[in-house]
């Protein structure tokens, strides 16, 4: 039987809008590690740089190079349904927390 918690979690999407290519590459490498890449991080007709991956917890991420200050739109409340909630929260905090920039 499928793990309903992870199946449910994978139906939701988090969006990340990045300012620089370096920022995008760094986050992509962390999120895609041990995950599943659906669309590699590269140039597409609809975006200068875009990538779509499911991270190691099954959460789907789409990263866009927007040229504007970093903006993250995660569906945070869904972590509660994951059996590895604490591990996932620690991972996402390590990826996105940047006290020098106030987030």
Q: Which domains does the chain have, with CATH numbers?
A: 4-101 (3.30.720.110)
Q: What is the pTM of this model?
A: 0.64
CA atoms within 13 A on the CB side of 96: 19
- pLDDT tens across 66-90, in order? 888 777 776 544 444 555 667 777 8
**What are phi and psi for residue 39, nearest 5 degrees?**
-140, 120
Tell me: pLDDT of 50 over 90.
Answer: yes
Any residues with CB less than 8 A from the CB of 29 and at least 6 apart, and which?
none
In this structure, are residues 63 and 24 in contact, taking their beta carbons and an 8 Å threshold? yes
């Amino acid at each position: 039987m499928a793990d309903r918690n992870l199946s449910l979690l994978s139906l939701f999407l988090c969006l990340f809008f990045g300012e620089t290519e370096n920022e995008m590459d760094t986050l992509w490498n962390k999120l895609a590690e041990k995950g599943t890449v659906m669309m590699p991080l590269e140039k597409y007709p609809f975006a200068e740089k875009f990538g779509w991956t499911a991270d190691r917890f099954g959460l789907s991420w789409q990263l866009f190079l927007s040229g504007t200050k970093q903006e993250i739109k995660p569906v945070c409340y869904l972590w509660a349904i994951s059996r590895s909630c604490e591990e996932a929260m620690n991972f996402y905090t390590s990826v996105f927390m940047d006290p020098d920039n106030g987030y």
